[in-house]
Structure 1
Amino acid sequence: MTRFWLGGYGSAMEGSADGIGLLAGDADRQTSLSYRGAVTQTPSPSWLAPHPTLDVVYAALEGDAAVQAFIRSGESALQPLGEPVEAGQNVCHVAVAPRGDFLIASCYGDGRVVRIGIDAQGRLVPDAVNRAAELRAALLGEPLEASAPAGVAAAASDPYAGSRTAGGDERVSHAHAAAFLPDGRIATTDLGFDLVRIWRASTGSAARGLVLDHEVALPMGTGPRHMVVHPSGHLHVVTEYSCEVFTLAAGRDGTWAVVGSVLTSPIAEVGTDFPAELARTRDGQFLYTALRGSNTIAALRVQGGGESLEPFALADSGVDWPRHHLVHEGKLLVAGQRSDTIALLDLDERTGAPLGIRHQAPAPTPTSFLLVR
């Protein structure tokens, strides 16, 4: 039976989820799913990420500015593995290193990018020594905050100095997601400053934090949100404000740069549609993003050596405000944040196009899925 852990928003984030939930499917290749209730009492676990080798799940507690680890304690149960660890305001994403020795938390509210250590049992280690807080102070010309949580790296300055939004408000850093690159470096998005940052994880007993390597500035107002690393090594980045997918590649000197961009769909409406997640098939032939607003799923075909994308299909997502989706066994699972539902879409095995809505089910303010291994 196919099962998924389900992240969601609780009352503090204007949602109805009571904690990490469980979705369970039937035995027939997951042709339907039903919500089986909360397996933890956790406030707004909006994003979930797995440990690469242990039966441990890490949750971004968005309303509580913290990250917490949970260990599998039964066939369909989780229990806390230690106390929550401070991250930053509105922590909305966590990504676990391939070796399972640390994670990166991205904080939308204050722009922090936080490295938190993980021990051999999967517990979070909040006392990592880290020079990245000093880096932040140097970049921003601010005094070092003694209260900053361990492992904090943060936004540098706005690449568009002195710039303001169209409404006249000052731009604010909004870290949104992280991805581990093939060479061991880490990419993070800053939706507020229109940046993709490339970091190096420092090592040794004196510094176990993040060191800023370089930045890739996207056009102002694009709003880079989520990313996927393609098997070719390219990095695809979906933008929330301009409805585009940018493709980045590393040059011979290791510096990343934009090598292409395309609209998620020819009929996507900037200012009405706000792309959320970006997911790919296992073989990397197809990408899918959800357009919140029109509540559709846009499909893109990967061409060339991974550097070129072509939008080729648009379909009803089956939910309202599709915040997250993933590809699983030839289907697309979609979380509807505002409709309190999830939907299951069939995908054409040959063309990759969404074929239609197979199944819909109620679920409390769903925000992310994670396959139960």
Structure 2
Amino acid sequence: MPLLIGSYADLYSTYDDDFKPLAPPVRTPAPSYLAVGPGGVRYAVGELDGGQVSAFTPGGELINTLPSGGGSPCHAAVADGRLFVANYATGSVAVFALRPDGGLDGPTDVAQHAGASINANRQEGPHAHQVTIRGTTLHAVDLGMDAIVHYRVTPDGRLEHLRTTTVQPLGSGPRHLVFHPDGRVFVANELSSTVATYTSGFELLDVKPSCLVQPVGDNLPSEIALSRDGRHLYVANRGNDTITTFSVEGGGLLPVDEVSTGGTYPRHFAVLDGALCVANQHSNTVALLELDRDSGVPHPARVVIEHPSPSAVIPVAD
């Protein structure tokens, strides 16, 4: 399937299954993350102080651009005819309606987080980092608040606060989460370099280091994802510049292996059919790591794309 590569280089790109460009890059400010909507419409955040979000046709023509409802939007998700955006700098979550042509309308709501935590350098205020939709519930991961904020999405696109899960221990700095088919939730904690396991009701079960190899300096986990069959969990580590593989067991996560991403600062990756595709931001490369069918462990990486400051790998369903 085609792949979108987001970046901090004021462009995003589209590649085919053989990692060949399908079209010239689309120029737009700081499209660090992208989401794909109905009809293949692309939605790109503009991770700027004055945040913006833009809609593009599959061919790369701009449909429209709107303010993102906050500063430095860094994540987006499409569900039920709406676009949801996490604004990192200002700690807000915005909801946009989608027009029939795929363009953006609204916002229908902007929920402003409030709070801080114990890391004075990184948690001086709210920093919304990811939005995930499950049914009619939006889960917003906030690194600055050490929290996961849960909202009900109303039929008219409003966000009703349900409750807030405070991450423990304080200072963990949650970044991204993923839901397992059995209901458990796995969270990559950026500031503590850990992976936490929660029940479906967000009760903490376990916390494990995100690395098997002790980091020499800071290590900042970024993306977290499950294998297609749910048997393995993968976490990217910026610092060690690795992917750690965990086996998902009934009793919790079992560390299996840690392998190089073939570049530096793996900000994001996607699980493809039998492989991981990793955006190594600081080495300006996208690497492919084929997965062992039995162990689930990635094989050594090979660079498949040279790309300026890649920050996201987004598969486009056929």
> Does structure 1 residue 152 correspond to structure 2 residue 152?
no
User: What do the CA deviations read for 1:196-225 (whole angstroms, capped 9, x no partner)?
Assistant: 111111234xxx321111111112110100
Asked if 2 retains the 8 angstrom alpha-carbon contact of 1:246 and 1:262, the reply is yes
Amino acid in the other structure paired with 2:220: F
User: What do the CA deviations read for 1:125-160 (whole angstroms, capped 9, x no partner)?
Assistant: 1253xxxxxxxxxxxxxxxxxxxxxx11011334x6
Asked if 2 retains the 8 angstrom alpha-carbon contact of 1:295 and 1:316, the reply is yes
C-alpha distance in structure 1 between counterparts of 2:41 and 2:153, whole Å: 22
Asked if 1 retains the 8 angstrom alpha-carbon contact of 2:212 and 2:258, the reply is no
Q: Which residue of 1 aligns with 2:191?
A: 241
SS in 2 for 1:20: strand
SS in 2 for 1:261: strand
> Does structure 1 residue 59 correspond to structure 2 residue 17?
no
Q: Which residue of 2 aligns with 1:104?
A: 84
> Does structure 1 residue 322 correspond to structure 2 residue 269?
no
C-alpha distance in structure 2 between counterparts of 1:70 and 1:349, whole Å: 37
How does 1:1-373 map onto structure 2 within 5 Å? 2-10=1-9, 18-26=10-18, 33-34=19-20, 38-51=24-37, 53-63=38-48, 64-72=50-58, 77-97=59-79, 99=80, 101-128=81-108, 151-158=109-116, 164-165=118-119, 171-181=124-134, 183-204=135-156, 208-218=157-167, 219-251=169-201, 256-269=202-215, 272-304=218-250, 308-372=252-316, 373=318
Asked if 2 retains the 8 angstrom alpha-carbon contact of 1:243 and 1:269, the reply is no
User: What do the CA deviations read for 1:299-354 (whole angstroms, capped 9, x no partner)?
Assistant: 111111xx721121100100111111111111111111111111111110111011
Amino acid in the other structure paired with 2:39: L
Task: Give the 3 Å change call, closer, same or farther, for CA 213–156 of structure 1 in structure 2.
Answer: farther
What TM-score does the superposition give when structure 2 sets the normalisation length? Answer: 0.92
Please, what is the CA RMSD of the aligned residues?
A: 2.1
Asked if 1 retains the 8 angstrom alpha-carbon contact of 2:91 and 2:114, the reply is no
C-alpha distance in structure 1 between counterparts of 2:207 and 2:99, whole Å: 39
Amino acid in the other structure paired with 1:195: A
C-alpha distance in structure 1 between counterparts of 2:22 and 2:83, whole Å: 29
Task: Give the 3 Å change call, closer, same or farther, for CA 338–359 of structure 1 in structure 2.
Answer: closer
**Greater Cα offset, 55-64 or 41-50:** 55-64
Asked if 2 retains the 8 angstrom alpha-carbon contact of 1:113 and 1:154, the reply is yes
**Greater Cα offset, 333-342 or 33-42:** 33-42
Task: Give the 3 Å change call, closer, same or farther, for CA 79–88 of structure 1 in structure 2.
Answer: same
C-alpha distance in structure 2 between counterparts of 1:299 and 1:50, whole Å: 27
C-alpha distance in structure 2 between counterparts of 1:127 and 1:322, whole Å: 32
C-alpha distance in structure 1 between counterparts of 2:141 and 2:77, whole Å: 12
Deviation at 1:84, TM superposition (A): 3.1
More strand by share: 2
C-alpha distance in structure 2 between counterparts of 1:173 and 1:271, whole Å: 25
Deviation at 1:124, TM superposition (A): 1.1
C-alpha distance in structure 1 between counterparts of 2:89 and 2:288, whole Å: 31
Q: Which residue of 2 aligns with 1:141?
A: none
How many residues get paired? 315
C-alpha distance in structure 1 between counterparts of 2:295 and 2:125, whole Å: 40
Amino acid in the other structure paired with 1:56: V
Amino acid in the other structure paired with 1:288: Y
Task: Give the 3 Å change call, closer, same or farther, for CA 127–289 of structure 1 in structure 2.
Answer: closer
C-alpha distance in structure 1 between counterparts of 2:66 and 2:107, whole Å: 13
Deviation at 1:284, TM superposition (A): 1.1
C-alpha distance in structure 2 between counterparts of 1:170 and 1:335, whole Å: 26
Larger radius of gyration: 1
SS in 1 for 2:61: strand
What TM-score does the superposition give when structure 1 sets the normalisation length? Answer: 0.79
Amino acid in the other structure paired with 2:44: A
User: What do the CA deviations read for 1:143-190 (whole angstroms, capped 9, x no partner)?
Assistant: xxxxxxxx11011334x6xxx4367x8721110001112x42111111
C-alpha distance in structure 1 between counterparts of 2:192 and 2:215, whole Å: 9
Deviation at 1:21, TM superposition (A): 1.0
Task: Give the 3 Å change call, closer, same or farther, for CA 109–271 of structure 1 in structure 2.
Answer: farther
SS in 2 for 1:54: helix
Q: Percent identity?
A: 32
Amino acid in the other structure paired with 2:119: T
